[in-house]
Structure 1
Amino acid sequence: MPESAGHPLRKTYDNLGNEISPQLDEEVKNYLIDIDGTITDDVPNEEPWRMATCVPYQDALEILNKWYDMGHIITFFTSRTEEHREITETWLDKHGFKYHGLLLGKPRGGNYHWIDNHIVRATKFNGKFTDLIKKTKEIEVFKR
C-alpha cells in the first residue's frame, strides 16, 4: 500500500464549487517509474516467483525515497499485470519504497510516446540512479 504521508496534490474546484482534477504545485515533479530492469533486476511476468525474491537496486531506493521526501509524486508504472499487484505491493513495502501509486499493465516494448498538453520530460534509465542533471536534446514535436 502506498505511503500515506502528505500528498503533493491539492484539490481544485470549478466556478460552481465542484471538485475537479487535482493540481500539482509548479515545483512538484510527477515521476512514473518502471520496476523490472529499473529499480531491480529484469523479472519477466512469466517468472512471477522471482518477483518476491529479487533485490532492489540500493541507489534506486535511496533516490526515489529522497524524491518522495522532497514532496514529489512517485508512481510505479510497470508491465506487470493485475495478477501481480499483491506480490508487487508486498515487495515494494518490504523494501521500504515510498510511493503514491502503482499502475500495472504497461505495454511491453520501448517505443513510448506520451502526448499531453503539458510539458512532459522523459528520462531513460542507464543503469544507475543519481540526482538528475539538465541536458538539451532533440525532441519530436507536432508540426504547426
Structure 2
Amino acid sequence: MANQEDINKKLQQVTENGEHISPILPSGIKNYLIDIDGTICDDIPNEEPERMATAEVYPDALDTLNRWYDEGHIICFFTSRTEEHRKVTEDWLKKHGFKYHGMIMGKPRGGNYHWIDNHLVKATRYRGKFTDLIEKEVTIQVFDDGKHDI
C-alpha cells in the first residue's frame, strides 16, 4: 500500500484545466464513511451535547480505523451531530488519537439510509465490534432494469 502522505498528495493534486476537481482514489484504497455515536463511542444524542466530550471510545474502533488510515484508506466521519457540535467532536477525536481526513456533520437521524451512486457502494452495519471486514452474500435492493440478472 502507498503511504498516507502519498495518498494525501494524490487526493489534493487532482486538477482539470487548472481547476480542482474531485480526487480519484488510487486502486485498492477504500473511502470509509463512518458514524460516530454508537459506532466508535457511546451513543450520545444531540440533545445531550454535554456528554460528547466525555464519551467512552470503543478501543477496537480506534485501533481498526487508525490501521485503515495507516494503510492509506480514506476515513471520513459522517455524523448526526450538528455544526454546533463540530469543535467538541474534533477535540474528542484528537484527544483519543483518531486519524481521519474529514467529517460531515448533520446526517439525518433515523436508520433507513439508502445510498444511490453510479459507483459500487458497500455498506456495513455496525453491530458492536470493529473487526476486519469479510465477504458475505446478502440480498440488496437494486433498480429494476427489466433484466433481473444480478
Question: Scaled by the length of structure 2, what TM-score is found?
Answer: 0.88
Give the length in aligned residue pairs. Answer: 139
Structure 1 stretches of at least 4 aligned residues deviating more than 3 Å after TM superposition: 10-14, 16-19
2:33 aligned residue: 32
2:11 aligned residue: 9
RMSD over aligned CA atoms reads 1.4
Amino acid at match of 1:107: P
| Bigger shift: residues 126-135 or 16-25 | 16-25
Shift of 1:54: 1.1
Shift of 1:56: 0.5
Question: Whose helix proportion is higher, 1 or 2?
Answer: 2
Amino acid at match of 1:72: H
What is the identity percentage for the equivalent residue pairs of Structure 1 and Structure 2? 65
Question: Whose strand proportion is higher, 1 or 2?
Answer: 1
Residues 1:139 and 1:53: Cα distance change in structure 2 (over 3 Å): same
Structure 2 CA distance, aligned partners of 1:116 and 1:11? Answer: 24
Structure 2 CA distance, aligned partners of 1:98 and 1:20? Answer: 24
2:132 aligned residue: 131
Matched-pair contact (CA < 8 Å) for 1:52–1:88: yes
* SS of corresponding position for 2:129: coil
Structure 2 CA distance, aligned partners of 1:131 and 1:138? Answer: 21
